[in-house]
Structure 1
Amino acid sequence: MEVLTTKKEEMKENSLCCFFCAMKQQNPRRRRAGLTSFFNSMPYSDDESHVLVMSSLWSMAMTHPDDPEVPYSGALRCMSLLIAKSLAEPSWLLLHQNVYIPYYAAHIIGSYTIRSSSLAELAVEAGAVPLLLELLRGRLSWVEQRVAARALGHLASYEATFQAVALHDEEVIKLAMSIASSCLKTVYTEFLLSKDRKKYQCDLLTRGLGGKEMEDRKAEEWASQLQCWSLYLLSCFAFKDKSCHLLICRDLGFLRELCRMWGGMVNGESPAGVGLMRILCRSSVGREAMAGCSEVVQSLCNLSRSSDDWQYMGIDCLVLLLKDSKTRLKVMDMAADCLIDLVELKNLGARKKVGKTITKVLLMDSCEINGGGCGNYKSVDRLWELKVERRRREEMMPEEELVERWASGEAKKKQGNERFYAGDIEAALGLYTQALDLCPMKRRKERLVLHSNLAQCCLLLQDADGAVSNATKALCLSSPANCHGKSLWRRSQAYDMKGMAKESLMDCIMFVNLLVGEKRGKKGKMIKVPYYAARMINKQMNSAGLFAGVLGREGGEN
């Protein structure tokens, strides 16, 4: 027995020495030869030290994904063979700590192909695609699915390797759609609700640090990543091959779910569902499918009137739907009322003259000959009056008359303030409206305040739609856009009244960020989030959290 133990220890030391000694070798040729020899033999040997090597390779791939030495020494072929072994010999996974190996192998492939087309080609040559596809099918668990979706997304993003993934286009698309739709429920039921969590999954989630609370937090993050990476994989197909749009769009149930996929607060760098929706809007098939689904159009309207980082994508989608004569009439009712609130937008991040683009597409069917009318769309007629007729009248007015109108408007505003503080909200609403009609278009700051005041009046009168509309108009007049604290808070409250948790949450967080930014600039000011804002964030986090939809469906089933 003692001899057997000694022999095992010697084998472990030799295996570790093969890899780590090769890595320490100063001579590049010897280092490459040592690594090549190790990677050639690793899939065919059985050693408990393999998991240590895999963990080290994972760290190297994550920190130096552009370094070609390890991949060109045979690492990617070795990873593919290890995944194949894991799938072909389930009993092998039960030995030592081999259960960790398929996860690390797929993650290493994904990390080395994240930015390099040449390394992606090397992975394809190593036979990685069909093996990653097996993991995507769920042959092991959602943990391995996550890294398989990530790696396949990278391979599908390059022209040189897209076709290797596209050979399985119909299956990959169906799998990615299914995973994106079901992964949150899978993680919630198979991991978060499980009383007997798989140890290796817990270890991978927390790297051996932290308890159940950290596991829960990381599981939420990984569930979001699995969904977003599945959507990214779909986006690669949709972007590179428009014929795939039909496969995606014929499932209207998926489109309805897609508009609710926003990544949550844990994966803010991914546009999630709206990123794919914008690509689908580039084809007539995609536009017709989305225009025919009122939930999708409404979600785009909601996103367009929000402080979400992906607001511009929602606007882009609506503009594309309105430009297409086949879909324009289908979406006009919802889109016009939303977009008219955004026509004062100048810039939105790197996007320039956003409001002008919106105005142009809304007035596409209007002309001076017929007075700018647009059929039954009263909102578009109002837009014509605001952006064309009123601007024209003001340009023709003498400066003295404009100043006189502004002074009259200020008087009305003052009267409105008096009625507001006296508790006569309806009278204040009317006076603020009159002041806005008198205020010249070029006085953006004054109009911002008036729209914000109108939003507050609408809130107090329980008119949530009016509050959202006026607060949005005020935020479009702010510079930069979406940076007026009072309007953000008022719209957050209005969205709360409408039960729109995500939009309310985004506005409230933006409002708090503005408050904190202002206080940081004042010396000696203690930064403290107002209680009312903290309470709103807490409420909406519970309603808009990543698993909120799963919890809702579970509750409905019970």
Structure 2
Amino acid sequence: MPLADDQEHVLVLSGLFNIALNQPDDPEFPSLGIFECMAKLILRGINDREWLRRDQNVYIPYYAGHIIGSYTMNKVHFAEKAIKSGVVLPLMELLRGKMSWVEQRVAVRALGHLASHERTFEAVALHEVEIIELAKEIACNCFQEVYEKFLSLKEKKRVRYHCDLLTKGLGGLELGNRKAEEWASQLQCWSLHLLNCFACKERSLNLICCKEFLKISCNLWGGLANHRSPAGIGLIRTLCHTQKGRERVARLKKVIENLCNVSRSSDDWQYLAIDCLLLLLKDPVTRYQVIDSVALFLVDLVELKTLRRGQIVGEAITQTLLQDYHKIKYGNLKLKSKKAERAVVEVWDLKVEKRKKEKLMPEQDLKEKQLLVGKLKQEGNEEFWSGYIEKAAKKYTEALDLCTVLKMRKERVVLYSNRAQCYLLLKKAEAAISDTTRAICLSSELRSHSKSLWRRSQAYDMKGLAKESLVDCLTFISSRMKSKHPKTKPVKIPYYAALMINKQMNATCPFNGANSKMYNRHKEKVEQSNGQEQDLDKDMAIHKKNAPGLPTNSSIEELLIENGWKRRKAERAGRRRKKGIRVAVDSHKSECKDFP
């Protein structure tokens, strides 16, 4: 095939692409020399531009790279054959951007699969420094690249074969936009995976642990649809298994803050973030660099019952935090933050002292405490409905102080959730996040803490943490859908949750940064040429139309306005004012089921 010119080559490669994708472990084509053939076709596409422009040959390097990646994904001996056939150099040419971001995507995927096998890693590592630098650049800038080279262009100006590859020839602007975002996400995901392969072997840690890259990587989601993706936090976790990695991460306040936020969220990578923090705390070199800030977050997770690697997560956190308790208690150790010291003492009181006292407490005293807690909760509810939010929060605090740790788990879930609602109304977002996290950790059933998920989503929104707010809101909706039987009653997404999702989807759109950069460049050009401001607005209108997820008028919000939702909400607010209840109290009845 590489030596002959045939219009049917593209059809043949398309068929091989589908076979490799669906049957990557089938030995038939690898035994027939498919790797050598694909390597030569890629090199011919790069070196012979005239041939590449002929017929439909422009598709060939993409298909060839994808075939190599698919066959080397699972089988080590296939990967060894690929190395012997000389696929690394052609893939490196594609990785360098000799063609386009579409071919970079298949190249980084194939190199990642080759680097993940022990026996073929060294062949890839021959280009170690260059691969790491290129993978870092791709991971950080892939959305910018896809936006500028594809999404921001009018449909007629887009590269034709890119559109065909993305949409399988079906065409359509919307489908192309959606697939472009998906492919950009995969490009980032596989770049992080390739870096992770080197980090696992503690190779070139100085390059990977670059200060600026670590700050960016902690915010990289990776492939959202691929739960095996390490994402940025997965890469940081791998680095935290090395001494050099821990030391570099511990120095970066922004990275630690991001890990702390993810550890108290519904993110799929929550436990990776917790692992990172525990690894930093267990290392005597980095422990006292991070404990002042980390302890304030982990104290909310000490009752997390999830089992991970044979150990309850909450217990692992407790043991790690209490390593220095006696030193702190007797004044042998002083932390920089008094709040951190109080957090450690609080963990001791909760997990040790209260449990000891509860075991020795007579049954009659326990019953009396339960009655008193119920009374205080009722008083707190009455204060809340009367509009005295601060007094209600104090009542809930008194009730929580009286609650036993082992016997009154459900009561504590409700009290934490109720107090979080008070903190939301008082605009104390951090306190609300803390209480909702504790309620979620205490609850064993998903449905019982769905209100806490929604309240934490609101609190994160208040702090401007869009990603954490979005994930909590999606989990909240998922919990509602699972808890209701679809045959008896149709599941509806609450209007307030739909608005939140729409808001945070716009805020977390991966192309926002690229859009802003392009807008600024256009603005500078307009200013330099003394052009009309309306020309700039016209250009940006085109970008917003072409690119999905950019901040535009919300279709959900428009629908709600059309249905008179704002008018009905105003009427309900007016009725509450007459009763003396603050307007800030959430209007939807389902959020207040804890209150009688």
Q: Common fold, TM-score beyond 0.5?
A: yes
Which residue does the alignment assign to 1:444? 409
The alpha carbon displacement at 1:244 in A equals 2.2
Asked if the contact 2:397/2:419 (under 8 Å) is kept, the reply is yes
Q: 1:201 to 1:299 in 2, by over 3 A?
A: same
Asked if the contact 1:374/1:380 (under 8 Å) is kept, the reply is no
The alpha carbon displacement at 1:245 in A equals 1.7
3-state DSSP of counterpart to 1:200: helix
Which residue does the alignment assign to 1:525? 489
Residue 381 (str. 1) matches residue 345 (str. 2) = yes
The alpha carbon displacement at 1:512 in A equals 0.5
The 10-residue stretch of structure 1 (45-54 or 476-485) with the greater mean CA deviation from structure 2: 476-485
The alpha carbon displacement at 1:556 in A equals 6.0
Which residue does the alignment assign to 2:569? none
Q: 2:440 aligns with which of 443, 461, 475?
A: 475
3-state DSSP of counterpart to 2:221: coil
Asked if the contact 1:305/1:311 (under 8 Å) is kept, the reply is yes
Which residue does the alignment assign to 2:574? none
CA distance in 1, matches of 2:315, 2:260: 18
Q: 1:140 aligns with which of 99, 102, 109?
A: 99
- 1:326 partner amino acid: V
CA distance in 1, matches of 2:57, 2:76: 30
3-state DSSP of counterpart to 1:345: coil
Asked if the contact 1:475/1:482 (under 8 Å) is kept, the reply is no
Which residue does the alignment assign to 2:374? 410
Which residue does the alignment assign to 2:213? 254
Asked if the contact 2:223/2:229 (under 8 Å) is kept, the reply is no
CA distance in 1, matches of 2:470, 2:236: 22
Which residue does the alignment assign to 2:458? 493
Which residue does the alignment assign to 2:202? 242
CA distance in 1, matches of 2:171, 2:490: 31
Residue 313 (str. 1) matches residue 278 (str. 2) = no
CA distance in 2, matches of 1:351, 1:499: 36
Which residue does the alignment assign to 1:535? 499
3-state DSSP of counterpart to 2:32: helix
Q: 2:293 aligns with which of 330, 334, 338?
A: 334
The alpha carbon displacement at 1:186 in A equals 0.4
Which residue does the alignment assign to 2:584? none
User: Following TM superposition, where does structure 1 have runs of at least 4 consecutive aligned residues deviating by more than 6 angstroms?
Assistant: none
Which residue does the alignment assign to 1:426? 390
1:288-303 equivalent positions in 2, closer than 5 A? 288-303=247-262
Q: 1:200 aligns with which of 149, 155, 161?
A: 161
Q: 1:215 aligns with which of 176, 184, 188?
A: 176
Asked if the contact 2:188/2:223 (under 8 Å) is kept, the reply is no
CA distance in 2, matches of 1:368, 1:283: 27
Gaps of at least 5 residues in structure 1 are 1-41
The alpha carbon displacement at 1:267 in A equals 5.0
Asked if the contact 1:265/1:545 (under 8 Å) is kept, the reply is no
Q: 2:56 aligns with which of 91, 97, 100?
A: 97
The alpha carbon displacement at 1:353 in A equals 1.0
3-state DSSP of counterpart to 2:107: helix
The alpha carbon displacement at 1:268 in A equals 5.2
Which residue does the alignment assign to 1:396? 360
Residue 233 (str. 1) matches residue 194 (str. 2) = yes
Asked if the contact 2:447/2:483 (under 8 Å) is kept, the reply is no
- 2:174 partner amino acid: E
CA distance in 2, matches of 1:161, 1:141: 26
CA distance in 2, matches of 1:259, 1:265: 15
Asked if the contact 1:374/1:381 (under 8 Å) is kept, the reply is no
The alpha carbon displacement at 1:457 in A equals 0.5
Q: 1:349 to 1:508 in 2, by over 3 A?
A: farther
The alpha carbon displacement at 1:523 in A equals 3.2
Per-residue CA deviations over 1:85-142 (Å, capped at 9, x if unaligned) read: 1111111100110000000000000000111101000110110011101110111100
CA distance in 2, matches of 1:205, 1:92: 23
Which residue does the alignment assign to 1:344? 303
Which residue does the alignment assign to 2:43? 84
- 2:131 partner amino acid: V
The alpha carbon displacement at 1:480 in A equals 4.7
The alpha carbon displacement at 1:390 in A equals 2.0
Which residue does the alignment assign to 2:66? 107
Residue 286 (str. 1) matches residue 228 (str. 2) = no
The alpha carbon displacement at 1:548 in A equals 2.6
The alpha carbon displacement at 1:375 in A equals 2.7
CA distance in 1, matches of 2:389, 2:520: 40
Per-residue CA deviations over 1:215-240 (Å, capped at 9, x if unaligned) read: 0100000000001100000001111x
The alpha carbon displacement at 1:280 in A equals 0.2
- 1:388 partner amino acid: V
3-state DSSP of counterpart to 1:365: helix
Q: 1:267 to 1:412 in 2, by over 3 A?
A: same
CA distance in 1, matches of 2:110, 2:60: 15
CA distance in 1, matches of 2:386, 2:172: 56
3-state DSSP of counterpart to 2:359: helix
CA distance in 2, matches of 1:304, 1:369: 25
Which residue does the alignment assign to 2:431? 466
Tell me the TM-score normalised to structure 2 length.
Answer: 0.84
Which residue does the alignment assign to 1:47? 6
Residue 173 (str. 1) matches residue 137 (str. 2) = no
Q: 1:402 to 1:317 in 2, by over 3 A?
A: same
Residue 548 (str. 1) matches residue 509 (str. 2) = no
Q: 2:318 aligns with which of 359, 367, 378?
A: 359
Asked if the contact 2:80/2:120 (under 8 Å) is kept, the reply is yes
- 2:429 partner amino acid: A
- 2:169 partner amino acid: G
- 1:360 partner amino acid: Q
CA distance in 1, matches of 2:471, 2:331: 36
Q: 1:466 to 1:553 in 2, by over 3 A?
A: farther
Asked if the contact 1:372/1:384 (under 8 Å) is kept, the reply is no
The alpha carbon displacement at 1:453 in A equals 0.6
Which residue does the alignment assign to 1:18? none
The alpha carbon displacement at 1:399 in A equals 2.2
Which residue does the alignment assign to 1:23? none
Asked if the contact 1:51/1:100 (under 8 Å) is kept, the reply is yes
Asked if the contact 1:264/1:546 (under 8 Å) is kept, the reply is no
3-state DSSP of counterpart to 1:79: helix
Q: 1:484 to 1:549 in 2, by over 3 A?
A: farther
Tell me the TM-score normalised to structure 1 length.
Answer: 0.89
The alpha carbon displacement at 1:408 in A equals 1.1
Which residue does the alignment assign to 1:456? 421
The alpha carbon displacement at 1:431 in A equals 0.4
3-state DSSP of counterpart to 1:43: coil
Gaps of at least 5 residues in structure 2 are 336-340, 524-596
Q: 1:476 to 1:266 in 2, by over 3 A?
A: same
